[in-house]
Structures are given as structure tokens and as C-alpha cells.
A = this chain, B = another copy of it.
Amino acid sequence: MTLFQNVTLIDEMGNVTPRTDLLVQGGRIAQIGAAIPCPPGAERIDCTGKFLTPGLVVLHTHTPMNIFRGIAEDVNIDDWFNRELWPFESKMTEQDIYWGAKLACAEMAQNGVTAFADHYFGCQHIARAAGELGLRCDLAYTIFGFGGDPEPELQKAEELLAAYAGNEMVHLRIGPHSPYICSPQVLRRLVEVARQHGCGIHLHVSETAEQVKESYQKFGKSPFAVVAEAGGFTVPCIVAHALYIQKEDLPLLAGDTFVAACPKTYLKLGMGEGQLWQHWQSLQLGIGTDGAASSNTIDPLEQVRLFALLGKWADQAEQFTLPQMWQLLFAGHRALPFGAGRLAVGAPADLALWDLDTPATAPVYDPLAAILYSASAANITHTMVAGRFVKKEGRLQVDVTAITKQVADCAAAITRRGRGESKVYF
């Protein structure tokens, strides 16, 4: 039990309630109101001058790729995939997956993230890392397949789906890589399995202009249309990127489809302006980070800031407003099955506590502006997931040095091994 006293609440819509109390009990928000009596045994935290928000969320990442952060710089997206990352990934070990994910979870806990949607191989290692850090995760069991037989991987995916069924901290879903790495037949089969399990899918769609062009050449339709035809939007669906979503794609998307924008990757890999900023209000948009191998950080606050700044750049300074960008920061929670991302009695106690009384953020005319445009992880003093602190008084509740030591060893081994053969062509 934890009682946050004298705290200013900012809910997921941006509504501000000054100087109130919030009681956490049994992993959930038990009570909100002024002068809540402190129950016996409850930890009492004086939050005078501080701000409590829902925990942050990352709607698309590849946590194990934290192990490759900074390994491939100043390259375009084609070289990044084919000359750098896939060749390194082809020699990746289970240790790399586990320590990369653990590093990413540590980074996210620092950044106030309480839940993330991952898209990668080796989900069991990621689930273990997230569990050790105390974060909730939605893991897409990633499957490549262009004409190949997906059944052996599907069987493993179904075993993991069974293993984590009903788990409140770990959700499994199916992760077709994309309509350019999976054939329409494979896509259709993966969607069927996702429907049978009621678990949903998570895949990349329309990241680059080239992909859209090739899809029209190959299939006579857009990548979104290919996914729609495979039934992809008839199950709960997380779409990563959609940078080149076309106007004609919009009617294809169903109510349970969420799009994860990861602007730092688009910038860093020179992917161009795309159409996402034209259509974002027609989508259920959330904030992803992509993997740290392209975006170098797993920080949704940095990403939403970039999203807003890029939106405003060309004569739209009055748009991409504080309330809109605030809601976007938390919107990804609605795509996940945890019911978190809300400051309401009965909701999971997944929270971030902010100290804005710092040289980087003072003075505070509007806390939404202070957080969206000035704050960083350093302003988040506490991160709580399911009523447990994963960061407290500015410190992670795990041995950080042990993590970075192991990660350095993995990085040294990766450098020694060098690149292997890239296994994927498209």
C-alpha cells in the first residue's frame, strides 16, 4: 500500500487536479481524493509540488536491439537493414537477447515507462527481463516468411501463448514481420491463429516509400491493402510506423487497430516526410520508439516531442497542441490489454511521479508544457507498476551496474564476432 499525499494529478486527457491524495492498494488505484487517511502499514509519500501521471507506454520497440545501440551510424535505411543490422543479428545469441531486453527495460523504467509492446524473437527471454525489472510487456512472437512454411514457428508461438495465458504482466501476440517479409498466404495463416487465440497481431506496415511502390508493383495494392486482405485489421492490431500511409488506406483500418509512430528513426535513417503527419488525426495513434539500434533511445517523451515539433515545423505552430500531444503520449495504453494508462479508481497502479521544480523545467506555467517540451527522465523520481516501485527517489530498484557490465561484455563479443550473412532478402 502506498499513499501519495498532496500531489497534483494529471490524467491521460490532460486534466489537472491540484493537491489531492491517491491511495494504491493491491496493485490498483484504490482511492483518489483530498485528505485520505493513511491506512496502517501504508507507505506515505509527501508529493508537495510534484505531479502524478499514468506511467508512460512504448507501443513499438525491439528491446533486444538495445545491445546494438550505436553500432550502425550515418547509414540509410537500406544499408542499416542489409549491410549492418541483419548481418549482426544473424550471429546474435540468447544472452544478447536477454541482456539487450534487460537494458531496454532498465532504460524504460528510468524514463517512466510502465508497459511496452515489443516485436522480436526470443519472447521468453524478453518476458524474463521485463519481469525482473517489473514492467508489463506485450510481446509479438515475430515470424518471417515469404513462401516458407510458418508452421514450426507457429507451434512455438502457440506454446508461449499458452504459457502466458491470463498473465497480468505479460501478454503474447503474433508478430508477422511485415507484408514485405511475409507472403499474403503466411500473413493470412498468422492472422487466423491470432484470431483463434484472441491475442491480436503486431507488424510493420508502410515504413518507406519504396515498400509502398514495390507493393503496388507486386500485388497491385498498398501494403495496408495487403494486410487488410489477409484479415489483419479484423483482429486487435498494432501497426508499426505507417509513415507512408495513403489516404486510401484509412478506410481499411478497423476500430481495434493502433498505429505506433517512431519519428526519431524516420529522421535518423533519412526516411523522408511521409504522410503520417497529414493523417494522424484519422488514426488511433500511439508513440513507439523503434529499437535503440536505430533510435538510440527508448524514450517516448523524446519521441512525442519530435512528433509535435515536426508537425509544427511547416507553418502549423498552432496545431499539435499541448492537450493533443499529451493524450498522444498515453494513447498507446489503449492498444494493450492491461487496462492501464488511466488515473481512475480500480485502474492498475502504473504511475509516474514528476518533480518539475528543477533548473531544466522551472517555472511551471502549465505542467503539460513543462513535461512535453522541457522535462527528461531526470524529472521522473518514481515509476510504479502494479503498485510496486521500479524506480524510487530517482533510482532503479535493480542492480544497474550488473546490467551495464553484462551488456558491455555482450558488446565486446559482438564486435569480436563481426557481421554474419544476412538471412533476409526483399
Tell me whether A186 is interfacial, beta carbon within 8 Å: no
| Interface pair B270/A410, CB less than 8 Å apart | no
Which segment of A162-170, A336-344, A399-407 sits at the interface? A399-407
> Is the beta-carbon distance between B374 and A297 smaller than 8 angstroms?
yes
CB 8 Å contact bits of A295-337 with B (1 = contact, 0 = none): 0110100000010011011111111111000000000000000
Of all chain B residues, the one with the shortest Cβ separation from A363 is B411
Closest to A78 in B: B317
Which of these, B76, B266, B313, B361, contacts A318 with CB under 8 Å? B76
The residue in chain B whose Cβ has the minimal distance to the Cβ of A74 is B321
- Stretch of A31-39, A222-230, A231-239, A352-360 lying at the B interface: A352-360
Contact across chains for B317 and A75 when beta carbons are under 8 A apart: yes
For A70, give its contact among B359, B370, B410 (CB under 8 Å).
B370
Bitwise interface map of A from 210 to 254 toward B, beta carbon under 8 Å scored 1, else 0: 000000000000000000000000000000000000000000000
Q: Whole-angstrom distance from the CB of A314 to the nearest CB of chain B? A: 6
| Contacting pair B359 A400 (CB below 8 A) | yes
Contact check: which of B107, B272, B310, B411 meets A359 at CB < 8 Å?
B107
Q: Does A415 contact B (CB under 8 A)?
A: yes
Q: Does A69 have its Cβ within 8 Å of any Cβ on chain B?
A: yes
B318 x A374 contact (CB < 8 A): no
Q: Is the CB of A73 within 8 A of B296?
A: no
Among B70, B362, B374, the residue within 8 A (CB) of A404 is B362
Q: Which of A106, A360, A407 has the most CB of B within 10 A?
A: A360
In the complex with contacts A310-B267, A373-B297, A363-B107 CB distance below 8 A: no
Ranked nearest first, the 4 interchain pairs of A and B with the lowest CB-CB distance are: A270-B317, A363-B411, A296-B373, A106-B359
| Contact (Cβ within 8 A) B404 A357 | yes
CB-based contact A268/B376 at 8 Å: no
Q: Are B70 and A374 in contact (CB under 8 A)?
A: yes
> Does A396 lie at the interface of the complex (its beta carbon under 8 Å from any beta carbon of B)?
yes
How far, in whole Å, are A62 and B339 apart by their CA atoms in the complex? 45
Q: Are B318 and A74 in contact (CB under 8 A)?
A: yes
Which one of B71, B313, B360 contacts A107 once the chains associate, using CB atoms below 8 Å? Answer: B360
Q: Is the beta-carbon distance between A359 and B318 smaller than 8 angstroms?
A: no
7 A-B interface contacts by CB (under 8 A): A69-B370, A70-B373, A74-B317, A76-B318, A267-B310, A297-B373, A362-B403
CA distance A404 to B379 in the complex (A): 14
* CA A122 to CA B408, docked complex, whole Å: 50
